[in-house]
Structure 1
Amino acid sequence: MRSDILKGLFEPGTRLRIVDLSNRYGVSQMPIREALQQLQGEGLVTLLPQKGASVRKVDDRFVSNMYDVRAAIEAMLVRKAVEVLTGPVMDKIEHLQLEYERCASSGDMEEALAYNLQFHKAINELPQNPEAVEIINRHWGLIVSLRNTFGFSEKRIEDIIEDHRLLVNALKNRDGNAASVIADQHVQKAKADLLTNMKSKAEFKR
């Protein structure tokens, strides 16, 4: 169910009826209910009394707020990450970035998104602030779902690669302030790109 949501097979706002899901996935209703509860915790599903479950419906304000929170937290985490960064971890971060570039250049965006998550996760977990990381992780699945639904602009992948390279260099130089600025701008550009794509698709549907 998570995979189908992340692939965009269920668009935001789609009602998720337990009976239909049980038939679709060939399991009883109990594991469906448990899965919906877990997906609610990940931010992919909304559960309301008397109304049941639906794929989380988002608007411009929600997306903007979600990215603003992410930008603030990631800017803080990357600044602190510089203080505890080790050589082996730096090597891992570089490797993940190269893998992202490889997948992006071959057009495998599903795999590229997975490496993008690992790249940011490797940095964000360095300061050992699980409360901050939990807030960021809560919406990662939702962000992937939105990207699968609305896609990227033509030059967005090039921007991501450039930002990642700048961030890697700032980390190598142990420049926490520069890394923090890059991280903030990176997230803000991602927000602007997604909002533009959401608006374009809405206008196309009209």
Structure 2
Amino acid sequence: MVRSTPPIDTPINMPINTPTYLRLRDQIRTDIEDGCWRLGQHLTLHELSVHYSVSNVPVREALLQLQGDGMVDMRMNKGAVVRAVDARFIDEYFDVREALQSMLLSRACRAAWASSAQTLASVTALLRPLEEATRFGRVRELLAADEALQAHLGYLGGNDQALRMQASRGRLLEAFRRARVALWAPELEILVVQGEAMLQALRHADPVIAGEAVRRHVAASRAYMTRLLKVPETRAPK
């Protein structure tokens, strides 16, 4: 039976009795991604308390959670700084992403249901919007479709801890990307090609094909994000 992809750590999925600091953690994380708080920005406890209409206590706890996720760096008695994305961050992130994605897709290929009609249909359905966005050069749609496809492929690997490790840092990279213009680049055309290769890897239950497809996909994504380092930040991150 194919696994369906659930959202990870989103407020809508939280039980009604979830502690305030956890709800606040997710809200701040979403606001960083949406550009409300910029990468590299210093956030004080007072500023966040006023903005979210809560006391300093849940704010501090939320920031400690986000520090554990790698999204902020705490400052002694001074709040926190949202982590910036630079060339080193991009290189380290994609080194880890390649290792995790290769492992997850290889696990999916070895699963008994990897080449089932239901599994292949679920992946094919996610490939279609990626193909369409590539055909018409719609950058933001392309990247969103690719992320949805990769999230689903990763979930098929059946290792939720690996997905969570990748997701938290990925939110910072998403904030970085959204804060810049939707730049078209040749690397983007490779994403759909390697997505189709990943589908073939599942169809043939072949971890070798899977590993090579992941390697090429990650190389293209890394090149694109590195290219964006030279693009000025806008004030319309969405």
Q: TM-score range by the shorter chain?
A: 0.7 to 0.9
Q: 2:227 aligns with which of 196, 199, 202?
A: 196
Counterpart position of 1:55: 82
Give 3-state SS (helix, strand or coil) of 2:211's partner. Answer: helix
Q: 1:174 aligns with which of 189, 205, 227?
A: 205
- Is 1:15 the counterpart of 2:42 in the alignment? yes
| TM-score after normalising by structure 2 | 0.71
TM-superposition CA deviations, 1:82-129 (whole Å, max 9, x none): 1111432222222223244557759583x7655544422322233333
Give 3-state SS (helix, strand or coil) of 2:156's partner. Answer: coil
Q: Is the 8 A contact 2:188 2:224 kept in 1?
A: no
- Rounded to whole Å, the distance in 2 between the matches of 1:152 and 1:188 is 19
Q: Which runs of 5+ in 1 are unaligned?
A: none
How far apart are residue 25 of structure 1 and its match?
2.9
Please, which moves more after superposition, 164-173 or 179-188? Answer: 164-173
- Rounded to whole Å, the distance in 2 between the matches of 1:151 and 1:170 is 33
Counterpart position of 2:73: 46
Q: Is the 8 A contact 2:188 2:221 kept in 1?
A: no
Runs of at least 4 residues off by over 6 Å: none
| Greater helix share, structure number | 1
- Rounded to whole Å, the distance in 2 between the matches of 1:4 and 1:49 is 23
- Rounded to whole Å, the distance in 1 between the matches of 2:104 and 2:72 is 27
Counterpart position of 1:37: 64
Give 3-state SS (helix, strand or coil) of 2:120's partner. Answer: helix
Give 3-state SS (helix, strand or coil) of 1:201's partner. Answer: coil
Give 3-state SS (helix, strand or coil) of 1:125's partner. Answer: helix
- Percent of counterpart pairs with the same letter? 28
Matching residue's letter, 2:189: E
How far apart are residue 198 of structure 1 and its match?
0.6
- Rounded to whole Å, the distance in 2 between the matches of 1:124 and 1:177 is 16
CA distance 1:100–1:8, change in 2 (3 Å): farther
Counterpart position of 2:55: 28
- Rounded to whole Å, the distance in 2 between the matches of 1:198 and 1:137 is 21
How far apart are residue 46 of structure 1 and its match?
1.8
Give 3-state SS (helix, strand or coil) of 1:27's partner. Answer: coil
How many pairs are equivalent?
201
Counterpart position of 1:161: 192
Q: Is the 8 A contact 1:82 1:175 kept in 2?
A: yes
Q: Is the 8 A contact 1:150 1:198 kept in 2?
A: no
RMSD: 2.8
CA distance 1:178–1:3, change in 2 (3 Å): same
